[in-house]
Amino acid sequence: QPPASPKYSLTAPPAPAAPLISIPEVSEEHPKIWLPRALRQTYIRKVGDTVNLLIPFQGKPKPQATWTHDGCALDAGRVSVRNGERDSILFIREAQRADSGRYQLSVRLGELEATATIDILVIERPGPPQSIKLVDVWGSNATLEWTPPQDTGNTALLGYTVQKADTKSGLWFTVLERYHRTSFTVSNLIVGNSYAFRVFAENQCGLSETAPITADLAHIQKAATLRKTGGFAQRDFSEAPKFTQPLADCTTVMGYDTQLFCCVRASPKPKIIWLKNKMDIQGNPKYRALTHLGICSLEIRKPGPFDGGIYTCKAVNPLGEASVDCRVDVRAPH
């Protein structure tokens, strides 16, 4: 038997491996804005100051950054913007009040968008009170009234500063500062002197540059004597109580002492009675009442939630009585 012939298997040689193609990895970042903490509340600048805000953001590929002012496109003549790879800068060389408002930065990447809002307030000194008037002079006191300024400088007033000057020296002295009402009785004026008064308005930028001055002088005179047939009689200054400055409603915070003030004029000197919700509070250690030269004050010590209500100051003398009220609200601390 002839030997079996050997078996051979025919296989194709292995194909060469396909070359590896390097595909660059696409790095993507959603847009996001990192608003600095100082810009999360109203950003206040004075007229003439520079505004230079740098706002970092992220996003890949580079997102499109745009700004608006109160919903409108920026005024390119006043505001310039520079957008970098990772931040946007808003620049105003000399801020004016018209630059105040809400600025919004939008960072967009395709359909994705991040926004941030910045409120800018540009302020300046207030204008002066419009007028000041000498309303009354009695004893060693002078009562003044004035009208608020037309222009508060684009921000809230901190109050008024009242000054006096006697005609002998011509020097101005401050009587009170950061006072919130528009009338005040100046006390302790010197007999024999004549006084002028002026009032400034004040805000965060400072006092108004000018101040109106009373047109009339307050002449502080000694009690006059009148000639009568048969001798001299002392002039009668007696009068029933009259409040020249009322109590003002106020809101105070629990635990913080608060004071109420009013001014009364009367002769003879009146008895002062304080009431809360029509109940006499004399002798209550919670309260401290003082009266000096016609100025009545009541201190409420560390008020609690039950110390709110209607407070009354009553003045009584033999010729009559008068009273003024105010509401006190007590709120919890934040």
> What SS3 string covers 106-124?
EEEECCEEEEEEEEEEEEC
pTM, full prediction? 0.57
Contacts with 270 (C-beta within 8 Å, 6 or more apart), sequence order: 241, 264, 315, 316, 317, 321
In sequence order, what DSSP letters do the residues of 243-260 get, joined into one string?
EEE----EEEETTS-EEE
Predicted pLDDT of residue 90: 96
Averaged pLDDT for residues 56-73: 93
Predicted pLDDT of residue 268: 85
First-to-last CA distance in the chain?
113
Predicted pLDDT of residue 226: 37
Averaged pLDDT for residues 256-270: 89
Q: How far apart are CA 308 and CA 324, in angstroms?
A: 17
Predicted pLDDT of residue 234: 46
Of all residues in the chain, the percent with pLDDT exceeding 70 is 87
Q: How far apart are CA 219 and CA 166, in angstroms?
A: 10
Predicted pLDDT of residue 25: 54
pLDDT tens across 79-123, in order? 999 999 999 999 999 999 999 999 999 999 988 999 999 999 999
* pLDDT tier, 127 (very low <50, low <70, confident <90, very high otherwise): very high
Predicted pLDDT of residue 223: 63
Predicted pLDDT of residue 138: 86
Q: Is the pLDDT of residue 186 over 80?
A: yes
Q: Is the pLDDT of residue 9 over 60?
A: no
67 neighbors 117 (Cβ within 8 angstroms): no
Averaged pLDDT for residues 32-43: 92
Predicted pLDDT of residue 1: 59
Contacts with 108 (C-beta within 8 Å, 6 or more apart), sequence order: 31, 63, 64, 65, 66
- For the ranges 41-55, 124-138, 216-230, 247-261, which has the lowest average pLDDT? 216-230
Averaged pLDDT for residues 114-139: 94
Averaged pLDDT for residues 205-215: 94
* pLDDT tier, 198 (very low <50, low <70, confident <90, very high otherwise): very high
Per the structure block, which two tokens stand in for 35? 């608003």
Averaged pLDDT for residues 296-317: 92
pLDDT tens across 138-176, in order? 888 999 999 999 999 999 999 999 999 998 888 899 999
Alpha helices, H only, the chain: none
Averaged pLDDT for residues 222-238: 50
Predicted pLDDT of residue 22: 54
Question: Helix, strand, coil proportions of the chain in percent (round to 5)?
Answer: 5, 55, 45
Q: From the CA atom positions of the chain, what is the Rg in Å?
A: 38
* pLDDT tier, 231 (very low <50, low <70, confident <90, very high otherwise): very low
Q: Is the pLDDT of residue 132 over 90?
A: yes
